[in-house]
Amino acid sequence: MKRRRLLQSIAALPALPAAAQTAPAPAPEFPKLAETAADAVGQPRGRLFGRDQMAALEKLADLLMPKAGDRPGAVEAGAPAFLDFLIGESNAARRKLYQDGLDRLNSESARLYSKPFRDASATEAKAILAPLAAKWTYAPPADPFARFLKEVKDDLMQATINSRVYAAAVSRRSRSAAGMGAYWLPLD
Amino acid sequence: MAKTYDVLIIGSGAAGGMAAWVLARAGASCLMLDAGPLIDYDKQRVMKPVYDLPYRGFGKPGRFPHVTQASEFDANLWADEKQNPYSYDKSDPFYWVRIRAVGGKTLRWGRASWRLSDHVFKAKDHDGFGDNWPIGYRDLAPFYDRVEPMIHVMGRNEGLPQMPDGNIQIDESPDSESVKRFIAACRKRDIPTTKSRRATGTLASSTNLLLPAALESGNLTLTPNAVVREITIDPATGLANGAVFVDRRSKNEYEVKARVVVLGASTLESCRILLNSKSTRFAQGLGNSSGTLGQYLFDQFYVKNVVTAVVPEARGGKGGRGLMGGGGYVPRFRNLQRNDRKFLRGYAWDFGGGFTPSPRYLPLYGEELLKEMNELQGTGFSLTTMGEALPRKENFVRIQPDVKDEWGIPSLHITQKYGDNEYAMAKDSMETASELCTDAGFQVIAAHSQMVPPGESIHELGTVRMGADPKSSVLNGWNQSHDVRNLFVVDGSSFVCGGVQNPTLTILALSMRASEYILDQRRKGAL
């Protein structure tokens, strides 16, 4: 049956009896169901960084991008776990930069304070993070540790600002939808 | 038997779109082939929050090593480099930025629309370097006059010889105080400034400004997903008689026939098609009797954010619309009357203010950084340099027969590097921009002269250049092949040199002029 004739025949049907009219309306044939993204329901499983590396990254996240008032920091935004995933997906050079950088945080802390970086105080950490006080240059620093610190600072900030909890906090404050954009679906 | 069209148009961006607009509306039966799909804006795009993207807005690592413009939101719009490979010498990367869809790069262009002047067309007369174009400003001016209203260009006419006035809507918007201060600093050094000059409208693409009218004429057949392998030649006459293309999805191969072929597939794709169109008559590529096909590749070098400054009075949220916001353009000002610098030619700047400087410029972290970022909200003022890269024979493309794209078509190897002239210009632009910002009372927080890699400006030009002499050029002054009179190449590959002006407006004007010439020649029976 042609679509038009089908619609005409439906329109021509007599009204249903009162009892039938109170029955629940049938669900639409192509419903739009509510969905919830994976990172809103689950905790990402570790991918690249070892336990000590992850502990150092979490400490670093708290130092570099702390919670400020009602704005979540990198830890609240799950940035360390996200970077574990992102860097795990990246090329070997970037993975090495990160892994060596996190190891260096721990080894420097052990050398200076005889404890892992996660247990260093903010004042103690400042000495280790001294390369972040260097003046900006276009070329990345030659020292891999300094380069790691510059990159992780940028990455933690972006991972935080682009997170669900950060967007929610900003939206609550400004009543505007934060971080929305037009997404291009794959072209056929 | 398949139809023989009056004109085959390869490519649907600025160049091909304008050719279709002129030719189809004048009654020529046209077939347009484009390598990519036809985009349905309503179906292809959905609004999403960045946190719902798989990579939180960072994009899939390694997917676009050369397309710095790609974001995770629009990643699917850019040409996939695995399907569309190319190569370069490891020490000299070339960033080839492509969109393969109907409309081409007009779907995402920056819209800056400046006319070239005789400082470009007759550049050799000014400084002795390179070659003049075979045409001058007077030849193209009537076409600029007609193109500008079509794409709704808005800006300001300043009467500058290096940046001719246009047939444009006049931008009467007032300048903010910070912009006025910068302009005053420029004026003290006789450096001109003006408003940005851009195409306006929600979309300023061939898909909404050119192709609808061409299709409405009933004379344009648009075939997307047609990846052209080569242009075919009638061995009896030596004239182009059509093309062979591969269907993007099925990979089936087809032949089409036409009396005239107009190539507008973008600078490097057009050159690639010609180099791949080999025959007994043209063993080194179609229309390449000069041997220059593929040579004289150039672009405009960019120094992005050559200077980033802070307007001190705007700190702590005191900026507001009166002090901050807005921007403008500094047309080329070096070497106009005489060559008095250590380099040839010159550069321009885009400038603007009112943004928050990137935290990466600040040697801080943690609470100190957040506090300072709060202070600096909306205080930023920056400039980006766009400089002329000299066209040189040693910058070229060639076919690498063993590396083929997904459709079995040999790919390009690209060689382009910047020389001392570009480096000297970039350095001068950094020093001068820093001085101007300081003179304006701004605090410079970052300055550098590092050019982005060749190609990244998406202004690659040349390789199928025009010229008066068939021994040193591929096309004549009508964008017509010296060797094959019914073959026209109407995109940026035809440029002899490029100045500092964004090229799309000139591509549109050249394509309009060449297309009207085709009509004229057909009326006279010469094509």
Cβ of residue B63 closer than 8 Å to a chain A Cβ: no
Please indicate if any CB of chain B lies within 8 Å of the CB of A34. no
Q: Give how many domains chain B has, as a whole number.
A: 1
- Which of A35, A138, A165, A180 to mutate against chain B (most B CBs within 10 Å)? A138
Band of the pLDDT at A5, cuts 50, 70, 90?
Answer: very low
Interface predicted TM-score (ipTM): 0.90
pLDDT digit string (tens) for B324-369?
Answer: 999 999 999 999 988 778 899 999 999 999 999 999 999 999 999 9
CB contact under 8 A, B360 and A136: yes
Question: Which of B52, B83, B430 is most worth mutating to test chain A (most A CB atoms within 10 A of its CB)?
Answer: B52
A contacts of B366 (beta carbons < 8 Å)? 63-66, 122
Assigned domain for B48 exists: no
Contacts of B249 (CB under 8 A, 6+ apart): A188, B225
pLDDT tens-digit series, residues B453-498: 999 999 999 999 999 999 999 999 999 999 999 999 999 999 999 9
Q: Which domain holds residue B74?
A: 4-40+68-523
Are residues A183 and B47, on separate chains, in Cβ contact within 8 Å? yes
Q: What integer pLDDT is reported at residue A178 of this predicted model?
A: 72
- The answer to whether A137 contacts chain B (CB < 8 Å) is yes
β-pairing, B253-263 vs B347-355, is unpaired
Would strands B487-489 and B253-263 be described as parallel, antiparallel, or unpaired?
A: parallel
Q: What does the pLDDT look like over A34-48, one tens digit per residue?
A: 888 888 888 888 889
Residue B325 phi/psi, 5-degree rounding, is 100, 165
Distance of residue A64 Cα from the nearest chain B Cα, in angstroms: 4
What pLDDT does residue B430 have?
Answer: 98
Long-range contacts of A104-112 (CB under 8 A, 24+ apart): A104/A145, A104/A148, A105/A56, A105/A59, A105/A60, A106/A52, A106/A53, A106/A56
Cβ of residue A171 closer than 8 Å to a chain B Cβ: no
pLDDT tens digits for range B254-263: 999 999 999 9
- Contact residues, chain B, for A179 at CB < 8 Å: 49-51, 57
Search chain A and give the residue with CA nearest B303. Answer: A138
Q: Within a domain: residue B16?
A: yes
Task: Tell me the C-alpha distance between B261 and B255, whole Å.
Answer: 13
pLDDT of residue B337: 87
- In a domain, residue B375? The reply is yes
CA-based nearest distance B449→chain A, Å = 9
Is B72 contained in some domain? yes
Select the residue from B47, B56, B368, B430 to test the A interface by mutation, using most A Cβ atoms within 10 A: B56
Nearest residue of chain B to residue A83 (CA atoms)? B55
Domain assignment present for residue B88? The answer is yes
Looking at residue B496, its pLDDT comes to: 98
Determine, yes or no, domain membership for B310. yes
Residue B234, domain CATH: 3.50.50.60
In this predicted model, which residue has the larger pLDDT, B384 or A8? B384
User: Would you give the DSSP letter of residue B481?
Assistant: B
Q: What is the rounded average pLDDT for all residues in chain B?
A: 96
Percent of chain A with pLDDT over 70: 87
Closest chain A residue to B306, measured at CA: A138
A135 — contact with chain B (CB < 8 Å)?
yes
Q: How far is A164 from chain B (nearest CA, A)?
A: 5
CB–CB contact B47 A91 (8 Å) = no
In chain A, what are the helix, strand and coil shares in percent, each to the nearest 5?
55, 5, 40
B61 touches chain A (CB under 8 A): yes
In this predicted structure, the answer to whether residue A13 has a pLDDT above a threshold of 60 is no
For the cut 80, the answer to whether the pLDDT of residue A1 exceeds it is no
Residue A92 at interface with chain B, using a CB cutoff of 8 Å: no
For residue A131, give the chain B residue with the closest CA: B363
For residue B37, which of A16, A187, A67, A80 has the smallest C-alpha distance? A187
